[in-house]
Amino acid sequence: MLRIFRKAPSAFENIQAKIKFPEKFKGTILEKWADYWKNLFIDYRQMLQDLRSDVQDEPIKALKWTAGIITATALAKNNPTETDFKDSLKRISNEVALVNEDCLNPKSVGHIRYLAMCYNEEVLHYKNFGLVSVMYVKDLNDSCDLYKAHCSYMQPTYLSLPSKIVDVGFMGKWWNLYIKTTNYDVNV
């Protein structure tokens, strides 16, 4: 790959020497447009040459950056969506419905019922932060037009926001739902 970077400057200079801009377009917007793209290409070529020299000078640092970028990309690609949360909730609700009530874990069933109630009241919301997704509960749904919904003094504070988080999605899984419903069929 480094060979490509070494050959690119000479190849570009050869092409630039062969292509001449016609006299009738000199001083027009087309010449300015062509100069813009030529300068942009030169800037990117210089950036790639600097990158090549930086990689050769500090290969460990380049490896760390590459690993970090690949990890962040993998996390972002596997970030669960609200649809994944709904599917997981429906799947676990269906599985719980098949188990006898004497065998059910009351904490798991209570958590599932709470989430279903939040969906019915339309107070459960989804937020994507790129690498991590969050399901959180609001006090009122968006269609509510009470005084409490508009008064700035009655809005939640930043310190109360962590208590509103219901679930955190990371690496393709909603972790709180997974942890609380793993042993749904073990009555403790």
66 assigned to some structural domain: no
The pLDDT tens digits for 48-74 are 998 888 888 998 998 999 999 999 999
166 assigned to some structural domain: yes
Quick one: 175 and 87 in the same domain? Answer: yes
What pLDDT score was predicted for residue 18?
Answer: 65
The residue type of 101 is E
What pLDDT score was predicted for residue 116?
Answer: 92
Quick one: 24 and 109 in the same domain? Answer: no
What gap in Å lies between CA 98 and CA 10, rounded to an integer? 71
Quick one: 91 and 173 in the same domain? Answer: yes
Give the residue numbers spanning the domain of 39: 2-57
For the chain, what is the domain count?
Answer: 2
Quick one: 94 and 170 in the same domain? Answer: yes
What pLDDT score was predicted for residue 2?
Answer: 53
With H, G, I as helix, E, B as strand and everything else as coil, classify residue 134: strand
Quick one: 96 and 53 in the same domain? Answer: no
> Is 0.75 surpassed by the pTM of this model?
no
pLDDT at 91 over 90: yes
With H, G, I as helix, E, B as strand and everything else as coil, classify residue 124: strand
In the chain, alpha helices (H): 2-18, 29-57, 59-77, 82-97, 106-121, 147-150, 161-164, 175-180
Compute the average pLDDT of residues 156-176: 87
What pLDDT score was predicted for residue 13?
Answer: 61
Compute the average pLDDT of residues 27-38: 83
Mean pLDDT of the chain: 84
Residue 83: band (very low, low, confident or very high) from pLDDT cuts 50, 70, 90: very high
What pLDDT score was predicted for residue 51?
Answer: 87
Quick one: 52 and 86 in the same domain? Answer: no
The residue type of 79 is N
Compute the average pLDDT of residues 120-147: 86
